[in-house]
Structure 1
Amino acid sequence: MNTLQGTFALVTGASKGLGRAIAIELAKKGFHLLLVARSENDLAKLSEELRTNYGVTVAFYPIDLSENTSAGKVSEWVEKNDFPVSILVNNAGYGLWGKFDELSLTDQINMCHLNMDVLVALNYMLIPRLSKSNKAYILNVSSTAAYQAVPTLAIYSATKSFVLSFTRAIRYELKNSPIAVSCLSPGPIDTGFAKRAGLDAFSKMAEKFNMKPEEVAKIALKGLFSKKSEIIPGVTNWISVYANRILPKAFIEKMAAGIYKT
């Protein structure tokens, strides 16, 4: 990994939560950072913190990644500045809770666009640049929700299943390239995700199982640099994923429906 120090890592959704924690961990390891998120103020504060505390170079690009042209703009920014990117972390994404036919169709399609389309586009656009490195890494962030259908989180869990499947496929396609591809599938993280998704009632129960973003970030990077295909932080989350593989789907869906019921 020493050969990568001094190169850049691009992190989406970097201003808060898990993305912020991953950016900090990368800075600790000597990587320069390219930070992408909506909030310019948050990005500016984090950039200054990383420069001051870890002596790394940090550039940031404030943009709403849910916009149709966002991935192209990020790629153009990287190309224009000729940043030597060796790590891509696709962390940006969000969830919506509620019955499929009762939630806004526009909001659900926008979620699909951010969780899947933007992730795919950034992978596609940045693989040529990553390939220029002797070693490079892609970390696509999924969720433990990817391993089963989740009633009232139907679209979110489906998008994360897509991320998992897509990541495994391109990992195989790139196996003879300098790029190692991994999928991170965390469970509940103390990031405010449940509140944003509208899961206020569930957020209280989730607190019992929440992992800190800093803890997940450390596990994520350890798994990434070890070239693991799937990274599932936490014993409880690993057990739940294993159970989803061996128990009947109907049973799992009934359990999930009970947990996330409206």
Structure 2
Amino acid sequence: MNDTECLYTLITGASTGLGKAFAEECASRKMNLILISLPNENLDKLCEKLKQTYQIKVQCKETDLTNLETVVDFANWVTQNFTVNILINNAGIGGTQGFADSEIGYLDNMIQLNIRAMTLLTRILLPELKKLNSSYILNVSSLAAFSPVPYKTIYPATKAFVHHFTRGLEAELEDSNVSVSVLNPGPIMTNADVSTRINGQSSYVKLSIMTPAQIATIALGKMLKGKSVIIPGIMNRINAFFIRLVTENFRISVGTRIFKREKKNSDENTDNRSKQSSWKQSGKKTIAR
């Protein structure tokens, strides 16, 4: 397979949520796509839909970017077979839980995906991006990058890395043809679990919520205009301003109240699902008898 004559946009974490919204937004702009997701996420169905709907070229790859060899092999496959002019590092892991309650594997996967995969993909593809007349890198961070966040701990730390890495790389490439942007969205209404957690928050927090499609449209437009830091939504820009304005201790105190409540809601929903599952299993056994 070798298609180096066409330009492609590479999007990681493309099967659901913001990554899927990016894929749909790019496809609507007639961009050819290389999409990557974890295995068994039905990425091929999305690819086929985008091909048929927008009459573009779409390549799909389901693989685990938390594995070092996989990241390197995938990146080399891309550079050897395609010409990528836009790299969107979207793949990431988040969640709300106490650090002491977190599984080691969960924490390690978050670090490897949010930090290492993004860094290495950028490094391996950068020489190819620099050969083009114009190219773009968009790394997805978060508003959480601007402050420590209790009950998330590792997540904002990884997103702070993404933010600072991107700003530093932007400065290095200032005189090049590569435009580098970082996206710092607030809460995103992506799936049922996230929606449930968000709905348990205060009215003020809910004002910041945006859909993946809204964020993807804003982010892509600003990226193509060369915007360095992209914070979609007026409420999120206000939040970012106040985050920088107040002391770190105050931010931690507020974050503790917000995310302790979110963790409680998440735990209660997990307990309710477990009870419902047990009830259904019990009911099935009764019927079987």
Structure 1 position 210, deviation (Å): 2.3
Residue identity in the other structure for 1:189: I
1:68-120 per-position Cα deviation (integer Å, ceiling 9, x unaligned):
32211211221332x11000000000113222222123321221111001100
For residue 154 of structure 2, give the secondary structure of its aligned residue in structure 1. Answer: helix
What is the aligned partner in structure 1 of residue 71 from structure 2?
71
What pairs with 1:149-168 in structure 2 (closer than 5 Å)?
149-168=148-167
Structure 2: gaps spanning 5 or more residues = 264-289
Q: How many residues align?
A: 254
Does residue 91 of structure 2 align to residue 105 of structure 1? no
What is the aligned partner in structure 1 of residue 54 from structure 2?
54
For residue 114 of structure 1, give the secondary structure of its aligned residue in structure 2. Answer: helix
What pairs with 1:1-262 in structure 2 (closer than 5 Å)?
6-39=6-39, 42-81=42-81, 83-192=82-191, 195=193, 201-205=197-201, 209-261=208-260, 262=263
- Residue 149 and residue 131 in structure 1: after superposition, are their counterparts in 2 closer, same or farther (change >3 A)? same
CA distance in 2, matches of 1:155, 1:257: 15
CA distance in 2, matches of 1:239, 1:208: 11
CA distance in 1, matches of 2:12, 2:212: 15
Structure 1: gaps spanning 5 or more residues = none
Residue identity in the other structure for 1:225: L
What is the aligned partner in structure 1 of residue 274 from structure 2?
none
- Residue 201 and residue 79 in structure 1: after superposition, are their counterparts in 2 closer, same or farther (change >3 A)? closer
The answer to whether the Cα contact below 8 Å between 1:6 and 1:30 also exists between their aligned partners in 2 is: no
Residue identity in the other structure for 1:31: M
Greater shift, 97-106 or 171-180, is seen at 97-106
CA distance in 1, matches of 2:112, 2:20: 22
CA distance in 2, matches of 1:176, 1:74: 28
After TM superposition, the score normalised by the length of structure 2 is 0.83
CA distance in 2, matches of 1:203, 1:125: 40
Greater helix share, structure number: 2
The answer to whether the Cα contact below 8 Å between 2:137 and 2:178 also exists between their aligned partners in 1 is: yes
Aligned-residue RMSD, C-alpha: 1.9
Structure 1 position 236, deviation (Å): 1.1
Find the structure with the greater CA-based Rg.
2
After TM superposition, the score normalised by the length of structure 1 is 0.91
- Residue 211 and residue 103 in structure 1: after superposition, are their counterparts in 2 closer, same or farther (change >3 A)? same
Runs of 4+ in structure 1 deviating by more than 6 angstroms, as ranges, are: none
1:155-177 per-position Cα deviation (integer Å, ceiling 9, x unaligned):
00110011000000000001111
